[in-house]
Amino acid sequence: MNKLLKSKGFQNASASILSIIFGFAFGFIVLLISNPANAVGGFLTILSGGFTGGMKGLGQTLYLATPIIMTGLSVGFAFKTGLFNIGASGQFIVGAFTAVFIAVRATFIPTEILWLVALIGAFVAGGLWALVPGFLKAYRNVNEVIASIMMNYIGMYLVNFMVVQTVFDAARNQSMTPTRAIIPKVGLDTLFNGSNVNLGIIIAILVAIIAYIVLEKTTFGYELKACGYNRSASQYAGMNSKRNILLSMVIAGAFAGLGGGLLYLAGSGKHIQVVDILAAEGFNGIPVALLGLSNPIGIIFAAIFVAYINVGGFYMQLYKFVPEVISIMVAAIIYLSAFSLFFREQISAFFKKRTEGK
């Protein structure tokens, strides 16, 4: 028991949970100030989140979690290797476009495997999009934040242009529906009746587990992390730091790209809109990665958590609240999680005191 309490994982998790609790408290205060009469009902709706709509709500939670698991992984994987991949949004949308393009235009591929090919395409395209900032970072020491932000805009406008050129549904100002390449539901739609959940969530979780194994259990992952901690030291130890930086950026981009594919091939009526707005999912990956402490397994739970309270926020509109309060709460949670160092010290001091007292 003591060993468990002292373990780093436990302290990390309890710091996250503390910030979540404080974040919720803050959200409740915001609700109380803005509308005291409905605050309690609204807050309970947030808490019951995905459960509000029964099985449908739960399925919807998983559906919403799928893309943000992937973008969270993208940001988190890069974090682990010392990079800040703020370009998940661009990689995401480029991956999404590639998936939709293959799904609509690659008519020569048999229907059974088309969705898989399209997803692989998304994976590759996202990786290629991250290759540019990765290359600039590794070989020219250009700050990856700047480079990938720029790539976000290039990606967004390029995708808008390409959608109009190749897979355009002019009547609705959006991309065509990829009817032939919908990701299979594998029975999840009967389990979670009425929701959009599909095989994508399983793929996302599998990818997260693979990412975890690669990062924690392989030499390759160790090298990537070592380069993140200290580039010069890893180089001195004989690692190819340039290649490692390039690869971690590409892998991160590939995750985000796959996320785009998973969302737009879900068959939920989501299309690429031709508007000048960066894809939201890319930025939602940042809080998810931070909340999950950049650990792939943690990211799965963080993404499901964020999706869960978002579903709660959706239902909260019944109480005449505006769902933005969810974003406020997530922001508060992230802000407090920046204090995790402080929390961790407090927690370990608390336990130390208790064991000494005995």
Partner 1 sequence: MDTIYFVFQNSLLFTVPLVVVALGGMFSERSGIVNIALEGIMVIGAFFSIFFIKTFQGTIPPQLLFILAMFIAMFVGILFSLLHAYASINMKANQTISGTALNLFAPAFAVYTARMVQGVSQIDFKNNFRIPKVPLLGDIPVIGNLIFQNVYITTYIGIGILVVASIILYKTRFGLRLRACGGRVDLRRPHQHQLQRKRPGVWLPGVGGIDLRSMETFAHPLRRFLLRDDEDHRLDLDHHSVLGGSQPRPRHL
**Residue closer to partner 1, measured from CB, 210 or 322:** 322
Residue 251 CA to residue 207 CA, distance in Å, equals 11
Reduce the DSSP state of residue 273 to 3 states and report it: strand
**Residue closer to partner 1, measured from CB, 220 or 350:** 350
Binding mask 77-96 for partner 1 (x = CB under 8 A): -------x-x--x-------
For partner 1, the binding residue among 5, 22, 35, 131 (CB under 8 A) is 35
For partner 1, the binding residue among 12, 334, 344, 348 (CB under 8 A) is 334
Q: Which residues contact 40 (CB under 8 A, 6 or more apart)?
A: none
Residues 38-41: contacts with CB under 8 Å, at least 24 apart: 38/319, 38/320, 38/321, 41/319
Q: State the minimum distance, in angstroms, from the CB of residue 331 to partner 1.
A: 4
Of 90, 91, 93, 97, the residue nearest 162 (C-alpha): 97
331 in contact with partner 1 (CB under 8 A): yes
Task: Give the interface segment with partner 1, choosing from 9-17, 242-250, 271-279, 296-304 (CB under 8 A).
Answer: 271-279
Write the Ramachandran bin of 218: left for phi over 0, alpha for psi from -120 to 50, otherwise beta: beta
341 in contact with partner 1 (CB under 8 A): yes
Which residue bears the tokens 């490692």?
Answer: 244
Task: Give the interface segment with partner 1, choosing from 96-104, 148-156, 213-221, 230-238 (CB under 8 A).
Answer: 148-156
29 in contact with partner 1 (CB under 8 A): no
Task: Give the interface segment with partner 1, choosing from 189-197, 221-229, 237-245, 324-332 (CB under 8 A).
Answer: 324-332
Residues that contact partner 1, how many (by CB under 8 A): 40
The answer to whether the beta carbons of residues 188 and 48 sit under 8 Å apart is no
60 in contact with partner 1 (CB under 8 A): no
For partner 1, the binding residue among 284, 292, 308, 315 (CB under 8 A) is 284
128 in contact with partner 1 (CB under 8 A): no
DSSP string, 200-252: HHHHHHHHHHHHHHHHHHSHHHHHHHHHHH-HHHHHHTT--HHHHHHHHHHHH
Q: Which residues contact 79 (CB under 8 A, 6 or more apart)?
A: 85, 289, 294
**Residue closer to partner 1, measured from CB, 92 or 115:** 92
Question: How many other CB atoms are there within 10 angstroms of residue 185's CB atom?
Answer: 17
The angle formed by the CA atoms of residues 31, 33 and 37, to the nearest 5 degrees, is 70
Using CB under 8 A as the criterion, which residues of the chain lie in contact with partner 1 when the complex forms?
30, 34-35, 84, 86, 89, 145-146, 149, 152-153, 276-280, 282-284, 286-287, 290, 321-328, 330-332, 334-335, 337-339, 341-342
